[in-house]
Every structure is written in structure tokens, then in C-alpha cells.
């Protein structure tokens, strides 16, 4: 590599900054950078831009999800562009274009992160759980088992460690206190198990179909089963398949009843 007619590409500089180059190649690149003021200046510009972006991310009110895949695709594109670039030293206008492209690329990474963040939030904040993660699991109980005595206020606490695992499974970072209820899809009052496959982070009070409305459905189904008006297996299957559809079925309404918007049995997540 001649210091007079070749400069390090943006892709090579990013790899060098990230420590992704080793051995003789790294030594040659470092030697070239030491002797080339243009490459030193370009590396400083890239590091400054990356530093500004990281600072802006940390100052945000919410953490962005990992974007390693987006960064990897960007680096691959930079490597490809560098491979077809002429070997002659870049003209001043091309140097400016490379700088502009680098800034635009970093802005694209930030934009992709924001899009990914809001798409994740939309997915995890759904009123109905992801059936792949939370299909619903029951215990081996009978109608007499669940109806022999009233559950203590209908509240079945979930160990903190298990609740944290539920949030991690749904990719919720730093859940806001009182925003979620780590809820049983099939409530223990209907034979539901304390298994992570029967748990999900349900919006506690936000949205139309929230934890208050589901608590009302659970209480109603328990009454129907224990009064002999509904089979236990049917109640379990209906609430596991789609609890909102079950609510509409058993209350014969398309919207939550006004009395149920304040119905509360289980407390919200506070930690």
C-alpha cells in the first residue's frame, strides 16, 4: 500500500476503529494512517460522528434494541463499494462525498433502530399474547379441585425471577412500573399452571382490552364452571385460544362493559 496514491476506505477505517483487523494487515493500515494526514483526519471524523450518535442514543428516554444486523449489512456495503473504487487518491469533492455518505449511513442506522424499536413495542404491547411464546398450560385438576374453596382474593403471585424472564422473552427492556401485569393466560382459578408458557406481559390499564377486562372474564368463567353451566375444559380452551373472543362470547358484547374497566384482581408489575 503506497501512502502517496492510496487512502484507507471508510469500510477499512470502521473495521480499524472496531478492532476487527489483526495481524500484518492491521500493522500496514496503522502505518499508513500514521503517515497519512488525510486518513487520520477521516478516522477522527468517523469517530466523532459515532460518538455523537452514541451520546444521542444514551440521552433518549428509552433504550433502542440491538441493531447488529443493520450495522453488519452497512459494513458489507461499504466493503463492496471500496472494492470497486479506483486506486488513485480521491479528489477533494469525492472526499466530501465519502464524508457525506458516512454521515448518511450512520443516520440510516439510527433510523433503522428507531423503526425496530417501535415495531417491537407494538408487538410486545399487544393485548393478546404471542401464541408461540404463550400457548397456555394447565395443571392436572378437576372442577371439584378449583371449586372446593374460593381462591384467596383470586391473586396468585408470580416469583420475581420468573416475571423478569417473561419480560426478557417478550424483549421488553426496563418495563415501566404499573404499565404491565405479568398475567396467567389461563388463570390458576381455572387450572392454569405457573409455567412461563402460560405467562405474558399484558398491558395493565392502557388500551381497550387490558388486564382489568380480562380479570372480569376470569371471574365470570370461574363462576360459570363452578355453577355447572360451563365445562372446565371448554373454559380453558376458550381463554387460551383468544381471551378477547371469549369475552365477547360469554358477555355477548363487542366492547368491554363499563363495569369491567375498573375491575381489578391482580396488581400491576411494580419492580
H or E element, residue 165:
helix 160-169
| DSSP-assigned letters across all residues of 81-147 | HHHTS-SSPPPHHHHHHHHHHHHHHHHHHHHHHHHHHHHHHHHHT-SS--TTT----B-S--HHHHH
Q: What is the mean pLDDT of the chain?
A: 77
Answer whether residue 2 shows pLDDT above 60.
no
What's the rounded Cα separation, in Å, for the pair 75 and 69?
Answer: 10
pLDDT per residue over 119-160, tens digit each?
444 444 578 999 999 999 999 999 999 998 655 455 678 888
For the question of whether the overall pTM of this predicted structure is more than 0.85, the answer is no
Q: If we measure between CA atoms, which residue out of 45, 41, 54 comes closest to residue 101?
A: 45
pLDDT per residue over 59-94, tens digit each?
554 444 555 555 556 566 655 665 554 555 555 565
Answer whether residue 251 shows pLDDT above 90.
yes
What's the rounded Cα separation, in Å, for the pair 83 and 169?
Answer: 41
Q: What is the mean pLDDT of residues 27-55?
A: 76
Q: What is the mean pLDDT of residues 97-118?
A: 60
Q: What is the mean pLDDT of residues 152-180?
A: 83
Q: What is the mean pLDDT of residues 162-189?
A: 90
Q: DSSP 3-state assignment of 233? A: helix
* pLDDT band of 228, cuts 50, 70, 90: very high
Amino acid at each position: 500500500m503506497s501512502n502517496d496514491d492510496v487512502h484507507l476506505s471508510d469500510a477499512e477505517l470502521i473495521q480499524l476503529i472496531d478492532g476487527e483487523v489483526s495481524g500484518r494487515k492491521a500493522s500496514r493500515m496503522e502505518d499508513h494512517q500514521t503517515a497519512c494526514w488525510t486518513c487520520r483526519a477521516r478516522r477522527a471524523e468517523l469517530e466523532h460522528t459515532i460518538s455523537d450518535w452514541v451520546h444521542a442514543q444514551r440521552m433518549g428516554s428509552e433504550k433502542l434494541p440491538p441493531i447488529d444486523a443493520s450495522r453488519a449489512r452497512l459494513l458489507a456495503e461499504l466493503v463492496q463499494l471500496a472494492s470497486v473504487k479506483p486506486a488513485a487518491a480521491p479528489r477533494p469533492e469525492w472526499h466530501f462525498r465519502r464524508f457525506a455518505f458516512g454521515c448518511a449511513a450512520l443516520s440510516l442506522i439510527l433510523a433503522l433502530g428507531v423503526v425496530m424499536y417501535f415495531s417491537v413495542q407494538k408487538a410486545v404491547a399487544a393485548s393478546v399474547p404471542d401464541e408461540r411464546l404463550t400457548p397456555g398450560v394447565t395443571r392436572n385438576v378437576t372442577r371439584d379441585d378449583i371449586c372446593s374453596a374460593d381462591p384467596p382474593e383470586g391473586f396468585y403471585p408470580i416469583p420475581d425471577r420468573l416475571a423478569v424472564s417473561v419480560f426478557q422473552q417478550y424483549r421488553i427492556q426496563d418495563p415501566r412500573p404499573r404499565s404491565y401485569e405479568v398475567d396467567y393466560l389461563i388463570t390458576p382459578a381455572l387450572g392454569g399452571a405457573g409455567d412461563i408458557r402460560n405467562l405474558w406481559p399484558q398491558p395493565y390499564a392502557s388500551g381497550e382490552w387490558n388486564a382489568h377486562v380480562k380479570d372480569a372474564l376470569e371471574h365470570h368463567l370461574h363462576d360459570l364452571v363452578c355453577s355447572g353451566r360451563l365445562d372446565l375444559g371448554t373454559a380453558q380452551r376458550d381463554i387460551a385460544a383468544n381471551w378477547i373472543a371469549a369475552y365477547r362470547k360469554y358477555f355477548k358484547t363487542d366492547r368491554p362493559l363499563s363495569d369491567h374497566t375498573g375491575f381489578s384482581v391482580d396488581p400491576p408489575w411494580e419492580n
